[in-house]
Amino acid sequence: MTPTTITAGNDANASAEPTYPMARTCPFDPPAELAQLRAEKPITRIRLWDGSSPWLVTRYDDVRNLLADPRVSADTLLPNYPFPSPGLRARRRASRSFIGMDDPDHARLRKMIISDFTVRGTESLRPLVEKLVNDLLDAMERGPRPVDLVEAFALPLPSMVICHMLGVPYADHDFFQDHSRAILDITADPQETVRANDELRDYLTTLIAEKEAEPTDDILGRLAQRYVVTGRLSRSDAATMGLLLLVAGHETTANMIAFGTLTLLEHPEQAAEVRDGDTAVVKSAVEELLRLLTVVHTGRRRVALEDIEIGGVTIRAGEGIITAGESANRDPSAFESPDELDIHRGSNHHVAFGFGVHQCLGQPLARLELQIAYPALLRRFPDLHLAVPLEEIRYRDKMVVYGVQELPVSW
Ligand code: HEM
């Protein structure tokens, strides 16, 4: 196929460019327009909030190929980096952690904490996660009905776990949860995003300074002693890394727990299998929910470092790229009946955790929490059901991480 080149921001084509992200029609599915693009224009220009027009990549193979391509950069300081919102662009310098860097810097920083996030490292947390799950379910059982599952279970569980790992006092959860929410709201006033980001980073900077003076056996404590005290990492860079881990460590999993539970409640037969099934069924159900829901739903953002020919187009060096994992995970060429929940789906190479060198560091932890949380919840409350009509559920359309705002349930 002969490659065609489309010039960035070409005004003649501007009105033809769809805006991204698009609105959902069904809250359980990515926008229908994405499916249409995937079928008709799998690599195409789209228009962002700032009028820029990066490439949107919607097919599974193209998404994986680009995310694994060393000619593609995740560096948020590059001029055409396609930010999801003015607020996230405004905080780019103050919050640039390794997720927004390329190797070797990315690898150097990621390596400092990788041992805490390996499958083996995370497995040691199993007794803690099981205890926290049980305690939260006990409290739910004792408390009033209906209850908001987000507040009572989905949000506290991953927050408590990441606090334990990092050495952040869980007592400060209102503070860091509110600030994380403000950072991830793509409709927020940019000043509000920057303020939330700065306050959360200041909080972590103080905590790290304390851990420099008084060693603690947790991730931030080890970062402080091994790297900050020895001059290999600035306190401020350690705080930025802490911010990434704290935010990514609770928002994503919390939304998977709540939205995943709602999805299971809408599929009672499969929910019963998760409740009564063995480990293999639960594992497979978790992967399927990760694929189907793809809660990190506004694409992985990148910039081309060189001209790249792909799918009949040439992406020029310096142009922005958005690889839409939410679309890739529904690509019929990669998954049979991709819009259906099938907890027995065989091999499930979804890209809900991204792909390539930036693939989610916390995925063993997320899997551990989800594999424990769903069956424990369904076993404790076999009769779990929505306490309001489905139509009344409000969704997180304006957030970087999608899900439900509240989930009133009873049993
Ligand atoms: C179900 C839960 C989760 C989902 C769906 C998820 C999703 C993702 C995705 C899609 C990426 C790739 C970003 C990119 O390529 O630009 C990512 C990266 C990352 N995630 Fe997660 N994540 C989850 C849980 C967690 C947890 C529990 C942590 C723990 C701290 C975590 C920490 C990170 C970090 C540090 C990165 C950056 C990795 C790098 O740049 O090398 N995530 N995550």
- Mean pLDDT rounded to a whole number for the chain: 95
- Identity (one letter) of the amino acid at 326? E
Q: Which two tokens stand for residue 31?
A: 């926008």
Q: Determine whether the shortest distance from the Cβ of 8 to ligand 1 is under 6 A.
A: no
C-alpha to C-alpha distance for 165 and 162, rounded to whole angstroms: 5
Per-residue pLDDT reduced to its tens digit, 217-239: 999 999 999 999 999 999 999 99
Per-residue pLDDT reduced to its tens digit, 22-36: 999 999 999 999 999
How many Cβ atoms sit within 10 Å of the Cβ of residue 225?
Answer: 16
Q: Which two tokens stand for residue 97?
A: 């952690």
Per-residue pLDDT reduced to its tens digit, 94-111: 778 999 999 999 999 999
C-alpha to C-alpha distance for 341 and 352, rounded to whole angstroms: 15
What pLDDT band is residue 3 in, cutting at 50, 70 and 90?
Answer: very low
Query: Can you give the pLDDT at residue 349?
Result: 97
Query: Can you give the pLDDT at residue 92?
Result: 85
Q: Determine whether the shortest distance from the Cβ of 353 to ligand 1 is under 6 A.
A: yes
C-alpha to C-alpha distance for 196 and 176, rounded to whole angstroms: 9
Residue nearest atom 25 of ligand 1, based on CA coordinates:
362
Mean of the pLDDT values across residues 240-263?
97
Q: Determine whether the shortest distance from the Cβ of 179 to ligand 1 is under 6 A.
A: no
Residue nearest atom 6 of ligand 1, based on CA coordinates:
353
Q: What are the domain boundaries of the chain?
A: 11-410
Query: Can you give the pLDDT at residue 361?
Result: 98
Nearest CA among 45, 65, 47, 72 for reference residue 302: 72
Residue nearest atom 35 of ligand 1, based on CA coordinates:
361
Query: Can you give the pLDDT at residue 5?
Result: 34
**DSSP secondary structure letters along 78-106:** STT---SSHHHHHTTTTT--GGG--TTHH
Query: Can you give the pLDDT at residue 15?
Result: 55
Residue nearest atom 9 of ligand 1, based on CA coordinates:
353
What pLDDT band is residue 410 in, cutting at 50, 70 and 90?
Answer: very high
Are the beta carbons of 295 and 262 closer than 8 angstroms?
no
Mean of the pLDDT values across residues 37-53?
97
What pLDDT band is residue 16 in, cutting at 50, 70 and 90?
Answer: confident
Residue nearest atom 23 of ligand 1, based on CA coordinates:
252
Nearest CA among 204, 293, 194 for reference residue 253: 293
Nearest CA among 411, 99, 393 for reference residue 245: 99
Mean of the pLDDT values across residues 134-141?
98
Q: Determine whether the shortest distance from the Cβ of 296 to ligand 1 is under 6 A.
A: yes
Say how many residues make up the chain. 411
Choice from 65, 163, 360 to test ligand 1 binding pocket (greatest atom count within 8 A of CB):
360
- Three-class secondary structure of residue 296 per DSSP: strand
C-alpha to C-alpha distance for 42 and 76, rounded to whole angstroms: 24
Let me know the angle formed at the C-alpha of 259 by 255 and 260, rounded to the nearest 5 degrees: 105
Mean of the pLDDT values across residues 377-391?
98
Side-by-side strand order, sheet with 320-323: 43-45, 55-57, 320-323, 300-304, 72-73
Q: Determine whether the shortest distance from the Cβ of 168 to ligand 1 is under 6 A.
A: no
Q: What is the architecture, at CATH level 2, of domain 11-410?
A: Orthogonal Bundle (1.10)
CA–centroid distance, 6 to ligand 1, in Å, is 32
Let me know the angle formed at the C-alpha of 82 by 78 and 84, rounded to the nearest 5 degrees: 135
C-alpha to C-alpha distance for 295 and 253, rounded to whole angstroms: 9
Residue nearest atom 34 of ligand 1, based on CA coordinates:
361
Per-residue pLDDT reduced to its tens digit, 67-97: 999 999 999 999 999 999 999 999 887 778 9
Choice from 252, 287, 349 to test ligand 1 binding pocket (greatest atom count within 8 A of CB):
252
C-alpha to C-alpha distance for 3 and 304, rounded to whole angstroms: 16
Q: Determine whether the shortest distance from the Cβ of 76 to ligand 1 is under 6 A.
A: no
For the cut 60, the answer to whether the pLDDT of residue 14 exceeds it is no
C-alpha to C-alpha distance for 410 and 388, rounded to whole angstroms: 9
Per-residue pLDDT reduced to its tens digit, 275-294: 999 999 999 999 999 999 99
Q: Determine whether the shortest distance from the Cβ of 99 to ligand 1 is under 6 A.
A: yes
Q: Determine whether the shortest distance from the Cβ of 259 to ligand 1 is under 6 A.
A: no
CA–centroid distance, 353 to ligand 1, in Å, is 6
CA–centroid distance, 97 to ligand 1, in Å, is 12
C-alpha to C-alpha distance for 270 and 281, rounded to whole angstroms: 10
For the cut 60, the answer to whether the pLDDT of residue 167 exceeds it is yes
Are the beta carbons of 112 and 223 closer than 8 angstroms?
yes
